[in-house]
């Protein structure tokens, strides 16, 4: 099933060899900071943004995002604030927006309310890295019926049988995790990664996005012609923490993406 998100990405790929998805943690350092970060990202023509809903146990995230989640929660950021912010940015910016978070958020809200709020806020799908595909069937089927894309993660340690199962459930694009571990550590760009991306392609027709450790122009250049989209998270947040808007602009300018 070709979702609205996949159609959007394929249209973008007609004009760009490699798309870019970025990451913002809702309310960290503040929603005002988030808005300024997103303005920079829009200026550099990013294609997609994953808006992370803070959670107390972000198991797939590295130390920087763990800290960001904790401080946002401590500041009182709740899912309802994140949906309100999502609605504001989807109305303002040209890029598409995904909800990124953990299953507890969807579970506590219930699938119908979660998906309805996501759709109402203009989101195009969600990434829930702690929800196994075997346990996601009901939520994903409901999302499918609403035109929302449940994004699946493929990892280098997965067997071909596992990749085939994930590929069958994939909508929008596949998030190819470049290496074992959590976000934030640098990833070696190598033939091994190229081989993994090729394995992913054999098991799904949707675009392939590579994330975990993408941090500089060399990484972007390596992925051109191999993946469809680069996912940039920790490196952008580090730039923001080091020097705010000016540093973030320098970071994106250095990537050579626009």
The per-residue DSSP string of 208-238 comes to EEEESS--SHHHHHHHBTTBSEEEE-HHHHH
Instruction: Check residue 59 and give its pLDDT.
Output: 61
d(CA 5, CA 13): 12
Rounded to whole angstroms, the Cα distance separating 17 from 119 reads: 29
Dist. CA 46–CA 85, nearest whole Å: 18
pLDDT score for 182:
43
Please pick, among 6, 37, 47, 50, the residue that the annotation labels catalytic. Answer: 50
Place of tokens 């996501």: 118
- What integer pLDDT is reported at residue 185 of this predicted model? 46
Residue 191 designated active-site: no
Provide the pLDDT for residue 57. Answer: 78
- The tokens 């507890």 sit on which residue? 104
Tokens of 90: 């989807």
Nearest-angstrom CA–CA distance, 210 and 51: 17
Question: What's the rounded Cα separation, in Å, for the pair 89 and 61?
Answer: 24
26: helix, strand or coil = coil
Q: What is d(CA 248, CA 23) in angstroms, rounded to the nearest whole number?
A: 13
| Whole-angstrom distance, CA of residue 134 vs CA of residue 258 | 39
Among the options 6, 37, 47, 61, which is catalytic? Answer: 61
Give the CA dihedral 51, 214, 128, 156, nearest 10 degrees.
170
Note down pLDDT in tens along the chain; length 258 residues. 678 999 999 999 999 999 999 999 999 999 999 999 999 999 999 999 999 999 887 766 678 888 998 999 999 999 999 999 999 999 999 999 999 999 999 999 999 999 999 999 999 999 999 999 999 999 999 999 999 999 999 999 999 999 999 999 999 999 999 854 444 444 566 789 999 999 999 999 999 999 998 999 999 999 999 999 999 999 999 999 999 999 999 999 999 986
Phi-psi sector, 55: left (phi>0), alpha (psi -120 to 50), beta: beta
**Active site (annotated) includes residue 61:** yes
Domains, the chain, ordered by start: 4-244 (3.20.20.70)
| Terminal-to-terminal C-alpha distance of the chain | 31
């Amino acid at each position: 099933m070709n979702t609205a998100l996949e159609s959007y990405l394929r249209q973008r790929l007609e004009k760009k060899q490699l798309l870019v998805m970025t990451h913002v943690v809702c309310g960290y350092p503040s929603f005002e900071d988030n808005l300024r970060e997103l303005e920079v990202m829009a200026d550099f023509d990013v294609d997609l943004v994953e808006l992370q809903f803070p959670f107390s146990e972000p198991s797939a995230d590295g130390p920087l995002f763990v800290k960001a989640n904790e401080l946002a929660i401590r500041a009182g950021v709740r899912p309802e604030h994140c949906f309100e912010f999502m609605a504001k940015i989807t109305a303002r910016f040209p890029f598409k927006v995904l909800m990124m978070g953990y299953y507890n958020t969807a579970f506590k809200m219930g699938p119908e309310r979660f998906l309805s709020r996501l759709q109402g806020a203009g989101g195009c799908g969600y990434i829930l890295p702690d929800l196994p595909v075997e346990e996601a069937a009901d939520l994903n089927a409901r999302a499918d019926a609403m035109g929302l894309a449940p994004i699946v993660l493929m990892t280098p340690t997965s067997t071909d049988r596992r990749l085939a199962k994930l590929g069958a459930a994939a909508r929008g694009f596949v998030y190819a995790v470049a290496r074992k571990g959590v976000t934030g550590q640098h990833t070696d760009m190598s033939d091994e990664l190229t081989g993994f991306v090729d394995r992913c392609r054999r098991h799904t027709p949707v675009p392939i996005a590579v994330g975990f450790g993408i941090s500089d122009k060399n990484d972007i250049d390596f992925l051109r012609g191999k993946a469809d989209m680069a996912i940039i998270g920790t490196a952008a947040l580090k730039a923001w923490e080091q020097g705010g808007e000016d540093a973030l602009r320098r970071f994106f300018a250095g990537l050579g993406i626009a």
